[in-house]
Amino acid sequence: MRQTVVSAALSDAYAAREALRNQTLYAHLTTEQRHQLAAVLTVSGLGQRTMSAGQTQDINTAVHHAEEHLRTLIKHR
């Protein structure tokens, strides 16, 4: 079961965070699994208080595209 949880958490930063916080599970993780889960958190930025400039730009770009798409949809109603 531990391997199943770790496998899922390697593709989900929230699950990785919870796996590392769970004392019972953490005690049974290998050093490699702990490092892998920590890397997932680092890459995701989860747990940081602020977003990087690149992340902020990506979100702003996505919001801008979504707004344009919504405007187009509304015009063609």
pLDDT in tens, 8-59: 899 999 999 999 999 999 999 999 999 999 999 998 888 787 888 998 999 9
Classified as helix, coil or strand, 58 is helix
Residue whose entry in the numeric block shows the structure tokens 């531990």: 2
| 22 & 42 share domain | yes
| 30 & 57 share domain | no
Q: Which structural domain range is residue 42 located in?
A: 1-46
Over 90: is that where the pLDDT of 64 sits?
yes
| 67 & 38 share domain | no
| 28 & 42 share domain | yes
Alpha carbon distance 34, 28 (integer Å)? 10
Of the ranges 5-9, 22-26, 70-74, which one carries the lowest mean pLDDT score?
A: 5-9
| 37 & 73 share domain | no
Q: How would residue 63 be classed by pLDDT, with cut points 50, 70 and 90?
A: very high
Could you give the dihedral angle defined by the CA atoms of residues 12, 36, 19 and 28, in that order, rounded to the nearest 10 degrees? 150
